[in-house]
Amino acid sequence: MTKVNCAACGDSCEVPFKPVANKPVYCDKCFSKQDKGGSPAFSSKDLDLINEKLNKIMRALDIE
């Protein structure tokens, strides 16, 4: 087993293989979402970055 961080949510997990550097690795929860055709969950860090960028755009456009 190899310890990795999920490419979608960032949680620590273990996989039964050695990951390849250019391929994402997902935890069970995010992998099952991929399997069903759903998109993986965004991490809170990703959402914070998106919100920060949206706030900058809104300020630039003078939207409150």
Q: 3 pLDDT exceeds 70?
A: yes
Which pLDDT does position 14 carry in this prediction? 92
Among the listed residues 25, 24, 21, the one whose alpha carbon sits nearest the alpha carbon of residue 1: 25
Neighbours of 7 (CB within 10 A): 16
- Answer whether 33's CB lies under 8 Å from 40's CB: yes
Which pLDDT does position 60 carry in this prediction? 92
pTM of the model as a whole: 0.50
The residue type found at 23 is K
The residue type found at 19 is P
| pLDDT tens-digit readout, 11-61 | 999 998 988 888 899 998 888 887 565 555 667 788 888 999 999 999 999
- Output the six-digit token pair for 4: 């990795």
Q: Where are the domains of the chain?
A: 2-60
